[in-house]
């Protein structure tokens, strides 16, 4: 079970509690963006952890929503700072509206493999399944239509589904959705993060930071400080 616990810690798939202090990721000059205004318009549920199903036959099995406190700094705080760095014209009179920032973890294939191993070969089979290595891959981000986020509010686990192209090795992964409004542009994105080739032990905060950087690249602005 050590491997499963290790993945839960790395992926932060609802396994952490508020009693666990997540180490802060070093961010250069973070205090310089303290004045940036954030309007947090997210559904309250997006800040809370949830395990969508314990039933192994369910389509929601092995899918989790991560709690806000699992990243340090939080997603909104990182958005404010990275936007401050990227857009010289941003100031304390230009609020960043955050409509969505939510992280899902999909361990479905991994957990089902473990369950099957125990069912057919006993504890030794489960441990063998746990020992299977996941091939690192690359992060992918694409702009999406906001309608998808609205349509899946009551089937939230579907946001953590992935295609064969996105995750050919069926590795445990994180999927982060971000929707922000800045410079009169409202942009939503979907960021798929399997085990990373260049950073296989990345924390969830580091993963969120990468997704935020790519998300902000979707913006264009003529403003200059």
Tokens of 65: 């929503």
Cβ–Cβ under 8 Å, residues 117 and 125: yes
In the chain the first and final C-alpha atoms are separated, in Å, by 53
Q: How many CA atoms lie within 13 A of 111 on its CB side?
A: 22
Distance CA 131, CA 37 (A): 46
Distance CA 142, CA 18 (A): 31
Cβ–Cβ under 8 Å, residues 82 and 209: yes
Query: So what's the pLDDT on residue 51?
Result: 96
Query: So what's the pLDDT on residue 98?
Result: 98
Distance CA 202, CA 208 (A): 10
Tokens of 28: 């250069």
Query: So what's the pLDDT on residue 225?
Result: 38
CA-to-CA dists, residue 142 to 66, 86, 154, 166, angstroms: 21, 19, 23, 11
Bridge-partner residues for 140, per DSSP? 192
Question: Tens of pLDDT along 139-198?
Answer: 889 999 989 999 998 999 999 999 988 888 888 999 999 999 998 899 999 999 988 877
Q: Which residue stretches of the chain have pLDDT < 70?
A: 1-20, 114-137, 221-225
Query: So what's the pLDDT on residue 92?
Result: 74
Cβ–Cβ under 8 Å, residues 107 and 13: yes
CA-to-CA dists, residue 134 to 42, 64, 119, angstroms: 33, 19, 22
Distance CA 178, CA 191 (A): 8
Bridge-partner residues for 33, per DSSP? none
Helix (H) or strand (E) holding 116: helix 108-130
For strands 63-65 and 96-106, give the pairing: antiparallel
CA-to-CA dists, residue 39 to 45, 181, 190, angstroms: 16, 10, 20
For strands 96-106 and 38-40, give the pairing: parallel
Q: How many CA atoms lie within 13 A of 120 on its CB side?
A: 8
């Amino acid at each position: 079970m050590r491997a499963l616990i290790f993945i839960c810690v790395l992926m932060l798939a609802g396994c952490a509690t508020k009693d666990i202090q997540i180490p802060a990721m070093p961010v250069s000059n973070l205090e310089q963006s303290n004045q940036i205004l954030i309007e947090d318009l997210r559904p309250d549920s997006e800040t809370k952890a949830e395990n969508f199903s314990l039933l192994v036959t369910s389509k929601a099995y092995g899918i989790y929503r991560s709690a806000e406190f699992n990243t340090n700094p939080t997603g909104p705080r990182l958005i404010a700072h990275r936007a401050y760095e990227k857009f010289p014209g941003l100031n304390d009179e230009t609020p960043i509206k955050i409509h969505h920032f939510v992280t899902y973890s999909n361990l479905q294939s991994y957990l089902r493999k473990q369950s099957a191993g125990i069912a057919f070969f006993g504890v030794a089979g489960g441990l063998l399944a746990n020992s299977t290595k996941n091939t690192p891959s690359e992060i992918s981000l694409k702009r999406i239509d906001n309608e998808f986020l609205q349509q899946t509010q009551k089937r939230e686990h579907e946001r953590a589904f992935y295609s064969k192209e996105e995750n050919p090795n069926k590795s445990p992964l994180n999927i982060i959705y971000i929707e922000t409004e800045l410079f009169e542009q409202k942009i939503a994105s979907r960021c798929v993060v399997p085990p990373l080739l260049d950073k296989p032990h990345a924390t969830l905060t580091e993963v969120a930071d990468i997704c935020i950087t790519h998300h902000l690249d979707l913006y264009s602005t003529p403003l200059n400080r």
